[in-house]
Amino acid sequence: MSFIVAILNQKGGTGKTTTTINLAAALAFQGHRTLMVDLDPQGHTTIGLGVEPDSFKESMAEVFTIPKKSIQDVVVPTYIPKLFVAPATIHLAQAAEQVYSRVFREAILAQALKGADFEFVIIDCPPSLGVLTTNSLYACDFIIIPCQISRYSLDGLADLLTTIETVKSLGLEELFQGDHFRILLTMFDKRNRVTNEYILEQLKPYREKTFATPIMKNEALNQAQIAQKSIFDYDPKSSGALDYYQITAEFLEIWQKRNNLPEKRPSLQSCR
């Protein structure tokens, strides 16, 4: 059975796509058969690893508009062995409009993922709290919330936690006690001391629910987007590669604990 993870924050530009691509790539490099689901009509996860929009006929738009359409029908391989993507195009935005009239519209993705033959499914969500995001929340086992060090990100986080609580039908205690989510600090810049201090103080109650590794601001991560490669291929010695390796290790630890599996750290070498 797949472990389904939603990379989610309704605020734009927090690093959702970068996290989706590099976490999924690291998992695939560790030998795990992994699927990225692009739920953002901008389609950046799709093109992020070099899958061109004219190279596939069907995408997530069809999954959302054709009843009982399986995600397996739209999956395409990436250049990384064991890593696949369910692609998206701008048509997904129109498809999302259409599903508002469907019954059980929140469960379309969960239904489409049934029987998917992947160890990990990583969903890149759009920067909104609409029907696509609700679908990912409904389908997922775990949520990663990339969060920039900014005041507006904290406000966004508050809205998001309220939405998670509602969609997952969790009480406050349950939301925290169960292992449902982790906050991932992104684009962290040590030089912004005053802002960092304020934001980290605000996040203090959530320290147990925050990945210990922040993703430092790193130009190589931007350059890897242009090269349409994972950071491990583009610049394996960059701080971005090391940060995402650490995040993968922390993530796998959570997964291993959940499934009562023996603890095994990923190999940095296999991330190239």
Q: Please report, as ranges, the residues that interact with another protein according to CB under 8 A.
A: 151, 154-155, 157-159, 161-162, 165, 172-173, 175-177, 194, 197-198, 202-206
Residue with Cβ nearer another protein (190 or 204): 204
Nearest Cα to Cα of residue 180 among 143, 147, 207:
143
Token output for 83:
């890593």
Please tell me the distance from the alpha carbon of residue 85 to that of residue 21, in angstroms, as a whole number. Answer: 10
**Beta-sheet strand order (sheet of 76-77):** 76-77, 83-86, 34-38, 120-124, 3-7, 142-148, 181-186
CB closer to another protein out of 1 and 158: 158
- Least Å distance, CB 185 to another protein, is 14
Minimum CB–partner distance for residue 78 and another protein (Å): 36
Q: Which is nearer to another protein, 90 or 158 (CB)?
A: 158
Contact 118, 34 (CB under 8 A): yes
Angle in degrees, 0-180, between the axes of helices 151-167 and 131-139, rounded to the nearest 10: 60
Q: Which is nearer to another protein, 81 or 171 (CB)?
A: 171
Instruction: Output the smallest distance, CB 202 to another protein, in A.
Output: 6
> CB 165 → another protein: shortest distance, Å?
8
* Residue 227 host element (H or E): helix 219-227
59 is written with which tokens?
A: 């995408």
**Which runs of E-coded beta strand occur in the chain?**
3-7, 34-38, 76-77, 83-86, 120-124, 142-148, 181-186
Q: How far is the CB of 255 from another protein (least distance, A)?
A: 18
CA atoms within 13 A on the CB side of 253: 10
122 or 203: CB nearest another protein = 203
Q: Which is nearer to another protein, 26 or 161 (CB)?
A: 161
Minimal distance, residue 127 CB to another protein, in Å: 17
